[in-house]
Homo-oligomer: A and B are copies of this chain.
Amino acid sequence: MNTLLLKDVVLDGKVTDILIEKSKISRIGSGIEAPGAKIIHGAGRLAALIPFYNTHTHTAMTLLRGYADDLALFTWLNEHIWPAEAKMDAHDIYAGTRLGILEMIKSGCCFFNEMYWFPHEAIRAAGEMGVRADIGLVHLALPGSTTARSAAQIREDALALAKELPPGVRIALAPHAIYTVCESALRDVTAVAEELQMPLHIHCSETLREVEDCRREHNDLTPVAYLDSVGLLKENTLLAHCVHLTDEDRKIIAGRGAVISHCPVSNMKLCSGTFDLQAALGAGCRVTIGTDGASSNNNLSMVEEMKFAALAAKLKTNDPTAGKDEDVFRCATLNGAAYARVNAGFFEGADADILLVELNHCRMVGDYNLTANLVYSADSSVMHTLICNGRVIMEDHHVPGEEEIIADARRCCDKFRR
């Protein structure tokens, strides 16, 4: 990895230089010289920030963007999404994942936590484009299901995938949900994750129906209590959605150090309910933000997701002081980075994940509060340059290969047209 020098960028309101060597920030200060380094000039008009970390998505669903909207959940799934997904082959997943990564990079995001099919294709796409990713090995295992795998098979699949991973890419184990994975399979997956020290990624308490079914089937346990009873809740576990939590659920999640991925747009679009951000933060839960897939959003923009998170929190509590910009911004950046095991920030030795944002932009004036401007005003057009793991993956709004990525994805859409 080459040396990279950010000249005259704005950090905490002051103009400074940032030197990056071997994927880490090695120096911050004025007048840094680094002969031979690649230089990016901030000219006092690019702010340096921690990028976004998208903790729950199904990236290749970009191929189904706008394919079926404004429908009741089961019509949407049964008549549109599942039949289309059944046609997806490995190349579709590669193409759709590249398209989604392109979109995430363009909106300032350097990490995604993936739960979808053909994980080796997602690994390839992430590696080529230089983003970080946790690629989930999806597990569906209802009794009698043909996709059920033994603990030994899961272990074998996970180890096979984990061979020769690109930098910044990890394998996660992704049991889909409590209503698609039976208890013994959940225990198997948990044991393998423990042994291989891999993260776990599962949908949890997304809909009221899931909660009601769980209580009926599992001795009145909530989905959170049930997952805890099988040992799945740990610091390395990501629970997607968590819309319907009890106070006791929040205590359990906080106590285990498990991580919530709050997906406000998807929850609102599918009428799943509204996550209580204030209650989760108040209980000490580790809250991060995810976009979910493009067919229930319909984009992968973490900057837009922050605004929905802030406003949904106010609506939920009828309190305009809920969902504060700085809280939401921390969820989308630092908290996500912590989940991704990235030592993000601006200090010597920090992992060099850095987003440069245009300050000379109509959405960024008034310029009293950069966090408020990012959460409430910005969109992807303010995202200038993105550095992930010390590598420049977008420079001056341009991502290498973007025209070809878009063209390839569009070709893949042809097979889904009706």
Q: Given A304-B304, A360-B406, is A368 in contact with B103 using a C-beta cutoff of 8 Å?
A: no
User: Which residue of B69, B323, B405 is within 8 Å of A325 (Cβ)?
Assistant: B69
Contact present for A373 and B65 (CB under 8 Å): yes
Rounded to whole angstroms, the CA-CA distance of A325 and B325 in the bound complex is: 28
Contact present for A70 and B320 (CB under 8 Å): yes
Rounded to whole angstroms, the CA-CA distance of A297 and B323 in the bound complex is: 14
Q: Given A66-B376, A73-B320, A106-B381, is A362 in contact with B268 using a C-beta cutoff of 8 Å?
A: no
Contact present for B362 and A103 (CB under 8 Å): yes
Contact present for A265 and B311 (CB under 8 Å): yes
Rounded to whole angstroms, the CA-CA distance of A315 and B265 in the bound complex is: 11
Rounded to whole angstroms, the CA-CA distance of A274 and B312 in the bound complex is: 11
Residues of B within 8 A of A372 (CB): 65-66, 69, 298
- The complex is assembled from copies of this chain, and their number is 2
* Chain A contact residue count (CB 8 A cutoff): 71
Tell me which residues from 62 to 85 in chain A have a Cβ below 8 Å from any Cβ of chain B. Answer: 62-67, 69-73, 76
CB distance from A15 to the nearest CB of B (A): 16
Residues of B within 8 A of A315 (CB): 268, 271, 274, 315
Q: Closest residue to A272 on the B side, CB-wise?
A: B320
Proximity bits, A375-418, B CB within 8 Å = 1, else 0:
01111110000000000000000000011011101100100110
13 A-B pairs with CB atoms under 8 Å apart are A62-B366, A71-B321, A269-B310, A274-B315, A297-B376, A304-B307, A308-B311, A362-B402, A362-B405, A362-B406, A367-B410, A367-B413, A379-B379
